[in-house]
Structure 1
Amino acid sequence: MKDFVEQHYVSLKKANPDFPILIRECSGVQARLWARYNLGKESSVSVDNMSADQVATALQTLVQSKP
């Protein structure tokens, strides 16, 4: 996850300046991506031990699967 943030955060934020992104660093916790959709719906996916490219694919899946 850290590699993804280092490689893609700036370009992701530039392309989506109003898109809220929250990154928290914490030891002993499984890395997860969370997406919050309209009407309070949420979805998450584990990205523990994934490469930066795998995290990008997981993020794209969350974006495309919004309820």
Structure 2
Amino acid sequence: MAWRGLISRNLKELRFLYCQTSPASASTREFVQRNYKDLKTLNPKFPFLIRECSGVEPQLWARYDMGVERCVRLDGLTEAQIANKLEELVKAGASAV
């Protein structure tokens, strides 16, 4: 879990997009509710953006240096799989630095 503290070093911004009510976004909502406090504590000045929009497909966007962005679709993933996708995005930022 050491990668959680590297978010602010390897990324510029992280955006979670999901629907407030759809079953497809349920695990993403749960992930954000359970992990936001820990992630924010480890990265206090880092911009974690939570975007809720009716009917939107759950997604995770990572912005790196020079405006480069990567998107991961989260539809159908469990909370553990979402954590793995986030870890992959953070590690990808380390290799780009």
* TM-score (normalised: structure 1): 0.91
Q: Which runs of 5+ in 1 are unaligned?
A: none
> What do you get for the CA RMSD once the two structures are aligned?
1.0
Q: Which has the higher strand share?
A: 2
Number of matched residues? 67
Percentage identity across aligned positions? 46
**Which one has the largest radius of gyration?**
2
User: 5 Å matches for 1:1-67?
Assistant: 1-66=28-93, 67=96
Higher helix share: 2
TM-score for the superposition, normalised by structure 2: 0.65
Cα distance in 1 for residues equivalent to 2:77 and 2:36:
16
Q: Distance in 2 between matches of 1:53 and 1:6?
A: 14
Deviation at 1:55, TM superposition (A): 0.9
Instruction: Give structure 2 stretches of 5+ with no counterpart.
Output: 1-27
